[in-house]
Chain A
Amino acid sequence: MGNTLQKTNNQLVTAFKNNDQKVMQEVYQNIFPKFRSHVFKNNGGEAQAKDVFQESFIACWRNVKKDKLKENSNLEAYLFTIAKNKWTDYLRSAHFKKTVSDDGVIAMRSNGEDQWNEKEEENKLNALHRALKQLGISCKKLLTQFYFERKSMDEIAKDLQLGSASVRNKKYRCMEKLRTLAMETKNNG
């Protein structure tokens, strides 16, 4: 696999854990073209390659966060494997099986509402993402800056033009609100 700026695998893992955007961009750049070639050779097109790859990238990131990546296994190779597996799943999925019979009539075999059946864990996450969508934009921005972008509270306070005490309070209130929303979505199915 490509060697991202000669970074060791441990550095890649740490970078993923810290959401280092520059490193993640490089990994994306290294692996996507390989995966795209794989998809082109296996009945797929550009748009599908992109969608499946991005889902795989997120799954890979998630697993790295949860320490599911075995020590000394190569992160980029791992990402490529996840993507290839997801592509195989995709080819088997209902979405792809809009079947074509000999007389050229196209029938769509629909299997549930969506293309693939995600695992239960992902369903749980989806509930959380639905909750996030309902969270106000300013809360979302603040929390994303702090948790994902890893900005300091001072930087965020400056950016939002708020005092540091009120940013601190706001962050607390936002998380409380998100939790409430998440519980509501869970209870309402």
Chain B
Amino acid sequence: MDKYPGYITQEQQEEFESVLLNQMDSKEKAVFNHKLNSDTELKKQFEEFKELFLAIEEEGLRNMMATFHNNLKGESSTITSTKSKFHWYRIAASIAILISLGIWFFNKQSPNEKLFKRYYSVDPGLPTVMGNNDNYAFYEAMVDYKQGNYDVAINKWEKLLLTNQDSDTLNYFLGSAYLANGNTNKAIILFENTLNSGAPTFSKEAHYYMALALLKNNNIEEAIKHLKMVPDEKSQELLKKIRE
């Protein structure tokens, strides 16, 4: 504990706290500020404490973000520019609700599921640029995918897959769509295809999402193998969490 000596006293900490929690009246505050300005050591300690304090607050706020966002969903669907989009949103939303209800009913949340939820966010997809493009069908489905209409995207991409079985891109995004839609087993097969294609473009992502899908299926051993293939921070963090 004392490798880094020189932490402030308990009383000093509590004085700092009452400043930062706004618990001082103006007179006390004036006295404190005066002390601070005439004592550089104290000032340094205060700045250091303030950083720690803010970091804890920020962490608290970060954890609140999901709640803020979820509370939002219930009340507003007043968005989107076109009617058809809106229509698809409603369908997608009902599907999402059905799926999550299904999951909720049939699965009590296991620790693996919790980890999955915490670390999973849908791959944002590729930019869809208008213009002449040979892969029109692919990008058309990408638009659906980005709007969260995973069923529609899956239908379109499945058709393309019949003639493009080796495409790592197609396999990867089809897998992402299945995973987003809750079809973990399908996702695993498609991520496997992506990795087997040998193309490096999506291999990092494919390993990561593959690991998440396996985790969701409680196949921890295989999930760990895939995470070990990705050196980035997030994967290593998840790896650590799984092993805990």
CB distance from B92 to the nearest CB of A (A): 10
Interface mask (B1-33 → A, CB under 8 Å = 1, otherwise 0): 101100100100100010011100000000000
A166 at the interface (CB under 8 A from B): no
| Contact yes or no, B4 A183, CB < 8 A | yes
Task: Select from chain B the residue with minimum beta-carbon distance to A180.
Answer: B4
**Does residue B175 face the partner (Cβ distance < 8 Å to A)?**
no
Secondary structure class of chain B's binding surface, majority of residues? helix
**Known pairs A147-B57, A149-B60, A179-B52 / 16 extra A-B pairs, C-beta < 8 Å:** A18-B22, A33-B72, A46-B148, A95-B124, A98-B127, A100-B133, A102-B132, A106-B169, A107-B201, A113-B233, A125-B55, A140-B59, A144-B56, A144-B59, A148-B56, A180-B7
The answer to whether A58 touches B61, judged by C-beta atoms less than 8 angstroms apart, is yes
CB neighbours (8 Å) of A50 from chain B are 69
Q: Pick the contact of B3 from A28, A140, A180 — CB < 8 Å?
A: A180
Count of inter-chain pairs, beta carbons less than 8 A: 157
Q: How far is the CA of A78 from the CA of B120 in the complex (A)?
A: 30
Chain A residues with CB below 8 A from B202, complex form:
108
Offer 19 A-B interface pairs, CB within 8 angstroms, sorted by A: A28-B68, A29-B75, A36-B79, A43-B127, A43-B129, A45-B148, A48-B124, A57-B68, A61-B61, A62-B54, A98-B127, A100-B133, A104-B138, A108-B201, A147-B53, A148-B60, A176-B7, A178-B56, A180-B7
Residues of the B chain whose Cβ atoms lie less than 8 Å from the Cβ of A18: 22
Q: Is the CB of A47 within 8 A of B56?
A: no
Q: Is there an interface contact between B201 and A128, defined as CB atoms closer than 8 Å?
A: no
**Given contact pairs A19-B57, A128-B55, A28 touches B201 in the complex (Cβ within 8 A):** no
- Please tell me if B40 contacts chain A, counting CB pairs below 8 Å: no
* A104 and B133 form a contact (CB under 8 A): yes
Please report which residues of chain B, range 41-70, place their CB below 8 angstroms from some CB of chain A when the two chains form the complex: 48-49, 51-65, 67-69
A143 vs B80: C-alpha distance when bound (angstroms): 41
B64 touching A172 by the CB < 8 A rule?
Answer: no
Task: Report if A62-B21 is in contact (Cβ < 8 Å); known contacts: A45-B147, A46-B148, A128-B52.
Answer: no
Residue of B nearest to A61 (CB): B61
Chain B residues engaging chain A, CB cutoff 8 angstroms: 1, 3-4, 7, 10, 13, 17, 20-22, 48-49, 51-65, 67-69, 71-72, 75-76, 78-81, 121-122, 124-129, 132-135, 138, 145-148, 169, 201-202, 232-233, 237
Residues of B contacting A128 in the complex (Cβ-Cβ under 8 angstroms) = 51-52, 55
Closest to B21 in A: A150
Given contacts A33-B76, A179-B48, contact A62 B134 (CB under 8 A): no
When chains A and B are docked, how far (Å) is the Cα of A179 from the Cα of B17? 15
Chain B residues near A45 (CB, 8 Å)? Answer: 124-125, 145-148
Q: Given that A19-B60, A45-B125, A102-B134 are known contacts, is A179 also in contact with B7, CB under 8 Å in the complex? A: yes
Nearest 3 pairs of A and B residues by beta carbon: A148-B60, A45-B146, A128-B55
Known: A33-B79, A128-B52, A176-B1. A103 touches B134 (CB 8 A): yes
The interface residues of chain B lying within 8 Å CB-to-CB of A61 are 58, 61
In the complex, which residue of chain B has the Cβ closest to the Cβ of A149? B60
Compute how far the CA of A175 lies from the CA of B4 in the bound complex, rounded to whole angstroms.
13
State the CA gap A176–B190 with chains docked (Å).
48
Candidates B64, B65, B122, B126; contact of A47 at CB < 8 Å: B122
B residues within 8 A CB of A131? 55
Contact in complex: A40, B81 (CB < 8 Å): yes
